[in-house]
Amino acid sequence: MSELIKIAYLEDDPIQGAAVEKWLNAQSIKCHLYENAEAMKVALDAIFFDAIILDVQINGEDTGLEVLQYIRDTGGESPAILMVSAEAYWHQALSSGANDFLEKPLSPKKLLVHLRQLMRPVAQPETIENYPPYQLNAQQNQITMNGDLVELSNNEFELASALFRNFGKVLSYGQLMKSISGRPNDEPSRLIESDLLKLKRKMNLRDLDGWMLEPVYRHGYRLVNAQYESELV
């Protein structure tokens, strides 16, 4: 009989903790709950976990980020880390070393999708890019939205990748053309606009969690999210 997958979860809300424990147990995943940083650090030194879930805020403090730093400072190979929060902490969490971020309130489907992607051997960290609620998988040329696969053509995927990797910046028609492999750079701008409109519709880039695809008159397009722009300055 194979050993159960073990997940460590830092969470000070007993109701949320019990719910996640129930969801994971139903999938034959053992969830070890910890209410404070000290208890989790002791456990991390003694038990091997397949993945770690850290709530950013514990008792009003950014304790999850502290534990994340502790794990990364210990050196060696560490489990994949999923950070969760009710606040817009995703940029800070990922830049601090988390492998993925999921915004609260949590749901069983989204949580399991994110955990299984983290623990899947083919999904190496460098191939995954997170822009909640979107996730780009460069290895498989796929994008998910809230955990659901978005059906995109190759052109649309390459456009989306260029826009997300440069979000907040204006990309000219020429730059967008160059992002599409095998596409002539001298094609009329109306052709790239057609692909962009399809992309906007399929990915709901009309203020979904703040993400908006905007035309910039006579220049090109830019992907913006006002709630994160201040963090990137």
CATH fold group of domain 152-232: Arc Repressor Mutant, subunit A (1.10.10)
**Average per-residue pLDDT in the chain?**
84
Least confident span in 59-63, 77-81, 110-114, 229-233:
229-233
Residue 1 banded pLDDT, cuts 50, 70, 90: very low
Cβ(141)–Cβ(118) below 8 Å: no
Q: Which two tokens stand for residue 151?
A: 């059906």
Q: Where are the domains of the chain?
A: 5-120, 152-232
Q: Give residue-wise pLDDT tens across range 122-156.
A: 334 456 787 878 888 888 889 998 888 999 998 89
Cα–Cα dist 39/109, whole Å: 28
Is residue 184 predicted with pLDDT exceeding 70?
no
Q: Give residue-wise pLDDT tens across range 2-20.
A: 467 899 999 999 999 999 9
Cα–Cα dist 48/131, whole Å: 29
Mean pLDDT computed over 64-90: 84
CATH fold group of domain 5-120: Rossmann fold (3.40.50)
Q: Which residues contact 129 (CB under 8 A, 6 or more apart)?
A: 135, 136, 138, 164, 165
Sign of the Cα pseudo-torsion (120, 122, 126, 130, in order) = negative
Is residue 201 predicted with pLDDT exceeding 90?
yes
97, burial (CB in 10 Å: exposed 0-12, middle 13-18, buried 19+): middle
Is residue 233 predicted with pLDDT exceeding 70?
no
